[in-house]
Structure 1
């Protein structure tokens, strides 16, 4: 039987990145579609960068037998700066998990007309069950859910394109603020997602069987993210007027699926939140339980229960407060990782030709 671990790696990578902002269309709108058709070039560039980021991190993990993100960051930043960076990342992981719990509550209330608290409790429960199975649970859930999410997004975007044709944009009035070039925006978007990528990829050594597996996992994970972004971005280009100001633009696109389109996409969005909550929560639990030398399953229970009060602060408030700060940190990490990767590969190449 052929080694399929690269598929597990790619699925975990996609599941880590495709959270509420991605699947809702909000991130794709703000980072790419605000630039019109040039945003599609931005998505293509981001796809390439995601593949480089994923493969370079996984290859580094395999070569140096890294089993935690702290061991990945220390050689890059040094001990002192590495510790500061780790503290910030720990806070980010906790906040990211709470944001996904809050997002689950918002979806249950707005899309399913069910209590906000029930949405939070359910997300906390299903993530806890997964955490109890450690890496195997994380791998299994992502391997099952990510293909479903891919199919759901491609189906939604594809039907919209077939029904309405390929439109560059129908935006004619008002303004969507954009503060940078599409190339810069594309780089920032990948950087913004680099924190959770490093954290989760650094924990996947047990399923990285060889160098080829590491490279394929990163490359195909990046390509999968690119496909998802295109099937979200292209339909959004034709609906710019209709979606301007909406918090979940893809729900408007999902109306092309019929009367229950928005409801079906609400389920897809919840699934995307679930995979991201797993990534953030798993990274936090693994590191803190190791630092405190406590039983990981017991700490998982404590963590999930403790996150519920924070999640009640609200989805939008948490995003506005937390995400901008970590975008800058992510950019620094991204530059260091990719820079070191190319420098190391160049040195290896020089040694071979001498």
Structure 2
């Protein structure tokens, strides 16, 4: 039947957009994966399975709800699950969080440009910010098309790092354990002392920063089946990239400890030319994620492609440039990201409760349409 058909092009574009959205400066520079997974050694690879389970389940649900409810504003999903009062709190928290991560990612872009090209961090931060602003002004639809193409490119680059690490690993299986011992000896700071909890926390972090975006992707799909497929493909692909990066960081542990941008150090070890290419593409990757966060933040206050939207975008970009150019990137990741993860746990509790209520009502033949709360929040 037509309602069950899946458009492969749409699946690839939107799943690519999900990957591009999640692979921001924290991931592209290697800091997120290093602090959430690599610091746990080989157990960090197992932790990715915990991440996959949590994130896949939540993403499937959000994409499905986005497709079925067609919210006027994707932030209304918080009212849908949490009610008006708590939902409004989560809306504002999500907006503030997205903007804070926007600033963190600007800092990551500046750190990348500074590490490889020697250009002052504030100059690099300003460059990324201006690119993001120009893209945001184009609107959400154009943004998805742009980052939908960039997502697979990011995955390919990370895969190259992983393959380059796996080749020597096949000859010397002990490289992973050697990297793990080097990490313990260096005393690097991890997000959590428990490897399983680190994997779960990262899933909660990714969820909290992407709820409205995932809802928007689901709403843009042709039907529920396509929305679910987009969610699965996007998260499974992203998880594969995490695994590849953990392996690359463990194998190259001695050369990345203390580095603001671990992936750039690994790429440079493979080849100076590849390091140069990788530095440029990291900047592109950061730009796409920063653009997405800026759009999702401003959409709370105005409809895209309007004068109000453009004015707010300019103001928030200028503020982000000022703070992103002076804040220490690695310390921001270690403080801000775990906090976001913990807040998502409560939201998942609301999601589970709501979905169980809907299933029980459906089982007893009652109506599952509950749009009053969402309408009241408009």
| Alignment-derived partner of residue 160 in structure 1 | 165
Q: TM-score, normalized by length of structure 2?
A: 0.83
Contact 2:65–2:218, Cα closer than 8 Å, also in 1 = no
Please report how far the alpha carbon of residue 213 of structure 1 lies from its aligned counterpart in structure 2 after TM superposition.
1.3
**Secondary structure in structure 2 of the residue aligned to 1:66:** coil
Count of residue correspondences: 351
CA distance in 2, matches of 1:111, 1:148: 20
Alignment of 1:121 with 2:126, yes or no, is yes
CA distance in 2, matches of 1:117, 1:37: 36
| Alignment-derived partner of residue 107 in structure 1 | 112
Q: TM-score, normalized by length of structure 1?
A: 0.88
Alignment of 1:56 with 2:65, yes or no, is no
CA distance in 1, matches of 2:146, 2:265: 28
**Secondary structure in structure 1 of the residue aligned to 2:272:** coil
Change over 3 Å in CA distance of 1:83–1:133 after alignment to 2: same
Contact 2:98–2:297, Cα closer than 8 Å, also in 1 = yes
Please report how far the alpha carbon of residue 138 of structure 1 lies from its aligned counterpart in structure 2 after TM superposition.
1.4
Please report how far the alpha carbon of residue 348 of structure 1 lies from its aligned counterpart in structure 2 after TM superposition.
5.0
RMSD: 2.8
Please report how far the alpha carbon of residue 164 of structure 1 lies from its aligned counterpart in structure 2 after TM superposition.
4.4
Contact 1:54–1:218, Cα closer than 8 Å, also in 2 = yes
Which consecutive unaligned segments of at least 5 residues does structure 2 have?
1-5, 366-378
Q: List per-residue Cα deviations over 1:299-322 (Å, max 9, x = no partner).
A: 333332343223233242644553
| Alignment-derived partner of residue 284 in structure 2 | 271
Moved more, 171-180 or 126-135: 171-180
| Alignment-derived partner of residue 376 in structure 2 | none
Matches within 5 A, 1:112-191: 112-165=117-170, 166=173, 167-170=175-178, 171-172=180-181, 174=185, 175-176=187-188, 179-191=192-204
Matches within 5 A, 1:8-27: 8-27=13-32
Which consecutive unaligned segments of at least 5 residues does structure 1 have?
none
CA distance in 1, matches of 2:246, 2:333: 21
Contact 2:203–2:341, Cα closer than 8 Å, also in 1 = no
Q: List per-residue Cα deviations over 1:199-240 (Å, max 9, x = no partner).
A: 212333552210111101100011111111111011223233
**Secondary structure in structure 2 of the residue aligned to 1:67:** coil
Change over 3 Å in CA distance of 1:234–1:319 after alignment to 2: closer
